Amino acid sequence: MTNAAQRPDIVSETFGSSKDLAILLIMGAMASMLWWPEAFCRQLAARGRFVIRYDNRDTGLSTKYPPGAPTYTFEDMVDDAARVLDEHGVAKAHVLGMSMGGMIAQSVALKYPERVSALTVISSSPLGVDTSGLPGPTEAYKEHSAQGGDIDWSNRGQVLDFMVRDARAIASMLHPFDEERTRAMIEADYDRSGGLASATNHFLIKGGGPQRTVRDLRAPLLVIHGTADPLFPVEHGEALAKAVPGARLVKVEGGGHELHRNDWLQIVEAIAAHH
Q: Which of 55, 58, 166, 229 is catalytic?
A: 229
What is d(CA 25, CA 15) in angstroms, rounded to the nearest whole number? 11
What does the buried/exposed string (b/e) look like for 179-197 if buried means 16 or more CB atoms within 10 Å of the residue's CB?
Answer: eeebeebbeebbeebeebb
DSSP three-state, residue 93: strand
Of 257, 260, 263, 274, the catalytic one is 257
Active site residue 257: yes
Nearest of 189, 130, 2 to residue 77 by alpha carbon: 2
E-strand ranges in 202-242 read: 221-226
> What is the side-by-side order of every strand in the sheet holding 93-98?
12-15, 49-54, 21-26, 93-98, 116-122, 221-226, 248-252
Give the DSSP letter string of 111-148: H-GGGEEEEEEES---TTS--TTS--S-HHHHHHHHGG
Query: Which one from 12, 32, 62, 99 is the annotated catalytic residue?
Result: 99
Find out whether 26 and 104 touch, Cβ atoms under 8 Å.
yes
Question: H-helix or E-strand containing 52?
Answer: strand 49-54
Q: Which residues, in sequence order, are CB contacts of 149 under 8 Å at separation 6+?
A: none
Quickly count: other Cβ atoms within 10 Å of residue 152's Cβ. Answer: 11
Active site residue 274: no
Q: Report, in angstroms and rounded to the nearest whole number, the Rg of the chain calculated over CA atoms.
A: 17
Residues forming the active site = 99, 229, 257
